[in-house]
Structure 1
Amino acid sequence: MSYFDGIDPVKFTGTDTTTDLGFRHYNPDETVMGKRMEDHLRFSCAWWHSFAWEGGDPFGGRTFDRPWFGNDMAAAKLKADNAFDLFRILGLPYFCWHDADIRPDGDSFAENARNLAEIADYIGEKMESSGMKCLWGTANLFSHRRFMSGAATNPDPEVYAWSAATVKTCMDATMKMGGENYVLWGGREGYETLLNTDLGQEAEQAGAFLNRVVEYKHKIGFKGAILIEPKPQEPTKHQYDYDVATVYGFLKRFGLEKEVQVNIEQGHAILAGHSFEHELAMAASLGIFGSIDMNRNDYQSGWDTDQFPDNPREAALAYYEVLKAGGFKTGGTNFDAKLRRQSLDPVDLVAAHVGGMDVCARGLKAAAAMLSDGALEDARAERYAGWATEEGKALLGRSLDDIHDQVIESDIRPEPRSGRQEILENIVSRYI
């Protein structure tokens, strides 16, 4: 018996529908800018939040009661069975996972590796029969107490070794599943106090670790992208992958800017003091845009609440940057989002994804319309028009002496010009 028995596959029903389980905006076959909506969005379900999370928070433990909760292979396979039921109901094309989400935790590294290989084969059979695909895999190098001081940046070389060996097994499993990316998230790669931290040593460890990952990618012939997911502070005071710009500086330092891209999460962008669209635009400008984790934070809370997206304007501004960057290549839209701990029923998990998918679809259509109509890009081009002239292009290569003489000889007297922010914000509002 499936956990989701009695819930029919969700269909596109249009904006006039009153059902809780019908897509109002997400029509996978609708053409947007010459491409199917499904192929633009490339939706993915996060195995960890939808199936492994137990409903706890910093002040209370488990509230969910799922039939697959357990630490043996039978429970892992039951979890996989129900995961694929949810994927079928929602019509999702992709899923993502950590090793700890899909396999039982063993008493040794060797047992973990055997468990991962067995469940990867089981999931692979279900993928073959269903047509589901793996957007990316990753290793959980943060939950177990061995990672309390980090993984790649841990002061204990044995933890570094365990972590590197774990990533190898996860990359192997990702490749076996046909995964299109491999993600590294440094949830504990940082410090809680400088009093016991050697910043230079830890950075060198992290750089060596990532270089070994890239080397192994090429060794095994993995064709997907290697992605880093930026995350500031939480749970540590400082992390080495704080935001997109910080990650790019790290990649440049270790010669990896052509090898590694970023997976950007909306909630992490907010925690870093940025907007989601800022981080997306920054990644595109640096040539490292890869994929996104779609969610939202509760703006009254100071931590990463991982809620399902519900703001079409935020989604529109995000997908505007995605489309400007050329859209997803190997990446996609992964719902790194979880139910509220009071949302206990199977239908809640289905409805949460339905709402999130609709918000993203609505945002995509608004973004495509804005980009096609060109009002924002025309205004941007007009604002920087002076730099498109021969004089403007030549200015960047001239010396300070030459520029000084030009300003005096031409009696240059610049006057400020309006940035027209409110007009541009009003333009965005027309499309939402």
Structure 2
Amino acid sequence: MEDSFFSEVTDRIRFGGIDSTNPISFRVYEANRLVLGKRMEDHLRIAVCLWHSFNWPGSDVFGVGTFDRPWLDPRLEPMIAARAKLDAAFEFIRKLGVPFFCFHDRDIAPEGGTFRESRANLETMVAETETHMARSGVKLLWGTANLFSHPRYAAGAATNPDPEVFAYAAAQVKLMLEMTKRLDGANYVLWGGREGYETLLNTDIGREEAQLARFLSMVAEHKHRIGFKGTLLIEPKPQEPTKHQYDYDAATVHSFLARHDLDREYRLNLEVNHATLAGHSFQHEVAYAISHGIFGSVDANRGDYQNGWDTDQFPNSVDELSLAVYEILRSGGFTTGGFNFDTKLRRQSLDRTDLFHAHIGGIDTLARALLAAALMIEDGRLEKLRRERYAGWDDELGRSILSGDALFEMLAGRVETGEIDPRARSGHQELLENIVNQEIWSADQRAVAEAAQKR
């Protein structure tokens, strides 16, 4: 295999501006540009995922892999292949110029014939990862364990009917949590892809919920035991690969965590495509998590409106993302989280440079969404109209209701005497939507004007 896998891209991707004719350049994303007093890079905290981009051959249920990923050739010695994969991944991340990456244990280290061999492989490759991180300055946004690919997890990990599978999953997560701490990861993610059911005919839902709660409690206990300072994140998804997944959406996970006294231990890693699969907008999932104090991080991607499955495409809609970014900005922004590109190339995107085109386009989309959301914050009309809509709750009547001073009988009496006789008020939805569009269009106009000034 070559010393440089992405030899056609010879240097770090540069900012070219909105009218750049260089396809390997950013048109919007400028890492050091100040937005609301903070660098764009620090707002977005972008990460590259290693699984779809480097550990997936481009296969689907109807066909074998189409991608040029020589390290996935089964004829290679597994650890040689793992090192080649890691070299290519860090070459890509360095040239793309983003600050973070994310990975599963099996993305960087092959599974061995025994758990002891798997552990040795992972520890070896984590040491290699430390070297790459030190050379490049790239940091770990989050680590996680793959508890869904191996046949042992066909019926789930924590929710498996076999306690030995539970124990094996516990050992795997224990190790990966320790490796994430070793790499100074900002977060640790748990995605319960097979924590659900295919049929209720062989499923005890109550038992499986108790198992899952115990597993998550054990993870939190081990986090504190080893002194991991990062955030524990759960990633909701309604289904796929299971028929029904217990971590269905933000509200479901929040209810589960509160029910088992875990809501102070976990936050949410929200994925755009998972939100739409659950029948929600991504803005809804972000707004719900923020309002309940459980927002953590984001997997940035999109689904296809014609398909009812997780297509994990690169984001390309400023309209869709700007509303979610607005919610994030108005809450103060990320703390330990960021935007991880949990995204797949299309199977016909065969050139090595296609991975750059995809990430550049997705990052520029996020950057434009950030600029539009910042304009919404600066303009203030959305917040003003929202505040005015609830103004009555800050007056005497609203305060007395929420404080408990106003009883049913008192309220009923004031209504019966005619003292309280409310009239419907406009919600101004169309006005609000027009304001959002105006800010998105204004962001575009500013970009054109700035480009003209530089010419």
Q: Same fold by TM (over 0.5)? A: yes
Distance 1:184 1:143 in 2: 14
Give the superposition deviation at 1:6: 2.3
Runs of 4+ residues deviating >4 angstroms: none
Query: Counterpart amino acid of 1:258?
Result: R
Give 2:53's aligned residue. Answer: 50
Q: Is the CA contact (8 Å cut-off) linking 2:238 and 2:247 kept in structure 1? A: yes
Of 3-12 and 294-303, deviating more is: 3-12
Question: Where do 1:116-135 residues align within 5 Å?
Answer: 116-135=122-141
Aligned with 2:245 (options 229, 239, 242): 239
Distance 1:59 1:90 in 2: 32
Q: Does 1:65 align with 2:68?
A: yes
Of 232-241 and 288-297, deviating more is: 232-241
> Can you list the C-alpha shifts for 1:172-192, whole angstroms capped at 9, x where unaligned?
111111100000000000011
Give the superposition deviation at 1:220: 0.5
Query: Counterpart amino acid of 1:74?
Result: I
Aligned with 1:100 (options 103, 106, 126): 106
Distance 2:329 2:41 in 1: 14
Aligned with 1:406 (options 399, 414, 418): 414
Query: Counterpart amino acid of 1:62?
Result: G
Aligned with 1:326 (options 332, 350, 354): 332
Give 1:88's aligned residue. Answer: 94
Give 2:446's aligned residue. Answer: none
Give 2:358's aligned residue. Answer: 352
Give the superposition deviation at 1:58: 2.5
Q: Does 1:39 align with 2:47?
A: no
Give 2:397's aligned residue. Answer: 391
Aligned with 2:169 (options 142, 145, 163): 163
Distance 1:391 1:411 in 2: 12
Distance 1:53 1:166 in 2: 21
Of 180-189 and 248-257, deviating more is: 248-257
> Structure 2: which 5+ runs fail to align?
441-455
Q: Is the CA contact (8 Å cut-off) linking 2:8 and 2:353 kept in structure 1? A: no
Give the superposition deviation at 1:411: 4.0
Distance 1:422 1:31 in 2: 31
Q: Is the CA contact (8 Å cut-off) linking 2:71 and 2:85 kept in structure 1? A: yes
Query: Counterpart amino acid of 1:413?
Result: D
**3-state DSSP of counterpart to 1:68:** helix
Give 2:347's aligned residue. Answer: 341
Q: Does 1:430 align with 2:433?
A: no
Distance 2:172 2:30 in 1: 39
Distance 1:334 1:286 in 2: 22
Give 1:419's aligned residue. Answer: 427
Question: Where do 1:178-327 residues align within 5 Å?
Answer: 178-327=184-333
Give 1:7's aligned residue. Answer: 9
Distance 2:163 2:119 in 1: 20
Q: Is the CA contact (8 Å cut-off) linking 2:68 and 2:352 kept in structure 1? A: no
Of 39-48 and 50-59, deviating more is: 50-59
Instruction: Provide the identity percentage.
Output: 57
Q: TM-score, normalised by structure 1?
A: 0.98
Aligned with 2:381 (options 358, 372, 375): 375
**3-state DSSP of counterpart to 2:111:** coil
Give the superposition deviation at 1:417: 1.3
**3-state DSSP of counterpart to 2:291:** helix
Give the superposition deviation at 1:70: 4.2
Give the superposition deviation at 1:56: 1.3
Distance 2:64 2:395 in 1: 62
Query: Counterpart amino acid of 1:250?
Result: F
Give the superposition deviation at 1:386: 0.9
